[in-house]
Amino acid sequence: MNKNEVGIDAICEACVALSDGDIEKSREIIGTKYPHQKPLKQRKSFTKKEQLTIFMRDGFIDRYSGGRLIFPGVLSILSDTLPDVFPVHENWKTDQCHQAWWDLFPSIDHIVPLAFGGTNDEDNLVCTSMKRNMAKATSSIEEIGWKIYPAGKLSEWDGMLLWFWEYCRRNPEALDNSYTRGWYETCRDMEAVGNYHTK
């Protein structure tokens, strides 16, 4: 029986106990058969450097779909320059963000969720779209029938990282946007934009 079915059975049983007026029995059923699971480890906020390291390691490939993703600074430039056709919302409201901010924005996911013993170690982290990250939530890939695709090669797809670097160097006013500037400074400090595109 899968985890959802176990949960449904426990909730049904607990509700029967509640209907019988037995709150303690209902509490015991939930506590033993479907207990609340707190994360075993604290979720970490990844720095831009840590994010870019994983994005580059995975070649800006969504490791859950095999699709290509776009470097966040590129999306930022588009939204800053073309807000009427490429809008973004600071709180990611889906009706106010261009769909690329969900479909093509790279994020980091824990393959094994922290709630189930996963770690913040790099071998438990993959690049995936924000949309897939949110859809997976605390599920395991086995539960939802996903697989892990191979990482890409930066020489074949760099998420438009080189374009971003060159655009900012030619158009320094793009760095007036603090989000864009943060990614530019991260690239500069990491010396992330190298000769990978010629390899």
132-143 pLDDT tens trace: 999 998 888 998
Greater confidence, 115 or 57? 57
124-167 pLDDT tens trace: 999 999 999 999 988 889 989 999 999 999 999 999 999 999 99
Sort 77 into a burial class: Cβ within 10 Å, 0-12 / 13-18 / 19+: buried
Sort 133 into a burial class: Cβ within 10 Å, 0-12 / 13-18 / 19+: buried
Domain boundaries, the chain: 3-33, 48-194
Q: Phi/psi at 50 (nearest 5 deg)?
A: -65, -40
Band of residue 1 on the pLDDT scale cut at 50, 70, 90 = low
Separation of alpha carbons 29 and 82, rounded Å: 55
Separation of alpha carbons 138 and 133, rounded Å: 9
Tokens found for residue 198: 């010629």
Q: Which helix (H) or strand (E) is 141 found in, with range?
A: helix 141-144
Q: Phi/psi at 61 (nearest 5 deg)?
A: -110, 135
